[in-house]
Amino acid sequence: MASPNPLKKALKKEGLRYTQQRQSIWDEMCATDEHRDAEEIYLSLRNEGMNVSRATVYRTIDVLVKNNLVRKLELGDGRARYEHKMDSGHHDHLICVQCGKIEEFMDETIEERQDQIVDDLGFKLIRHIHQLFVICNDCQ
Amino acid sequence: MASPNPLKKALKKEGLRYTQQRQSIWDEMCATDEHRDAEEIYLSLRNEGMNVSRATVYRTIDVLVKNNLVRKLELGDGRARYEHKMDSGHHDHLICVQCGKIEEFMDETIEERQDQIVDDLGFKLIRHIHQLFVICNDCQ
DNA sequence: CTGCTATTGATAATGAGTCTCAGAAGTTAA
DNA sequence: TTAACTTCTGAGACTCATTATCAATAGCAG
Ligand SMILES: [Mn+2]
Ligand SMILES: [Mn+2]
Ligand SMILES: [Zn+2]
Ligand SMILES: [Zn+2]
């Protein structure tokens, strides 16, 4: 009864077909809480014996992002990373410039100030990127 | 007496040669407070009759960024933007997702919270990206 | 000036992401 | 179930910002 599959729901809403590839890619996205790029997801699927193409990985990720099941991270190094949004609330990221490790943070004060700034200008906030580039514990 | 040319200073510090191209590119960067991409800077120079190559524009911008004369902005659309750091203090950006207009903001509270978050984790803050994607006044 | 090197322009290469299109597979109605 | 219709997929071509290559050019130290 309860809809157990958010992917199916999203596909239905969009009038898209439910396919093996789309399910596999979504499963793979949910398999870890890491922040992986499209190539890593593609290679994981291949290693598991799944025959899927890079194009389909990119196409499916687009659907997932559009339907709020996955978040896209732009770290400014030319490769987008992705994380599923199943169990986590909103957060932003700390990225170690040495080892690349990614940590998460969430600060209510900052979130409020952001809204305030946008309000004061009469704009409408759509989304934000807030990334702290650091040297982590292990790297100092 | 007073060092009038920050470019010359930077080049000397790096042991690099002072060239016509590097001066022109720096001049062009300082000509406006806009946030332009490499191609726009390249085309402006060509329009002014300067014979310079794209490669040299990219190479020179790298030098300027490395020496803190220019800031690179990654807006996630595949083209980096650049702004000179001559007269402006630190600020972050609001970007209209409709018209692409870029506004600037600076919030002391946010800056403090950032430092606090990084301190609490025992990390060292190197730099940060904070971008608010909005729909601006003109676009609603 | 001369000679040594860094720099440059033209252009090839790179690489993440997108597009194309013929064949494969999901969907619908009978 | 099958047929008919469409969407989806895989392979590989393509795009486009940026980087690398390399022979020719031009700073600069002596
Ligand atoms: Mn995250
Ligand atoms: Mn700015
Ligand atoms: Zn680290
Ligand atoms: Zn706008």
User: What are the contacts of B26-30 at 24+ separation with CB within 8 A?
Assistant: B26/B60, B26/B64, B26/B69, B29/B61, B29/B64, B29/B69, B29/B70, B29/B82, B29/B84, B30/B84, B30/B86
Amino acid B4: pLDDT = 73
Sorted by sequence, the CB contacts under 8 Å of residue B84 that are 6+ apart come out as B29, B30, B33, B69, B70, B71
Kindly report, as residue ranges, where domains of CATH 3.30.1490.190 are found in chain A. 92-139
CATH class of B6-84: mainly alpha
For the stretch B108-121, pLDDT in tens is: 999 999 999 999 99
Tell me the HSE value of B110 on the side-chain side, using a 13 A CA sphere.
21
CA end-to-end distance (rounded Å), chain B = 52
Ligand nearest to the CA of B36: 2
Could you tell me the pTM of the whole model? 0.91
Helices (H) and strands (E) in chain B, counts: 5, 6
* A123 CA → ligand 3 middle, Å: 37
Residue nearest to nucleotide C27 (CA to C1'): A17
User: Is the Cβ–Cβ distance between B94 and A114 less than 8 Å?
Assistant: no
Kindly report, as residue ranges, where domains of CATH 1.10.10.10 are found in chain B. 6-84
Structure-token pair, residue B134: 């909005």
Asked whether residue B2 carries a pLDDT value surpassing 90, the answer given is no
For the stretch B3-53, pLDDT in tens is: 579 999 999 999 999 999 999 999 999 999 999 999 999 999 999 999 999
For the stretch A101-116, pLDDT in tens is: 999 999 999 999 999 9
Q: Show which positions of strand D are touched by protein (CB under 7 A).
A: 7-12, 16-21, 26-28
Interface of B with A (CB under 8 A): 74, 76, 94, 96-97, 103, 105, 107, 109-110, 113-114, 117-118, 121-137, 140
Ligand nearest to the CA of A94: 1
Q: B92-139 maps to which CATH number?
A: 3.30.1490.190
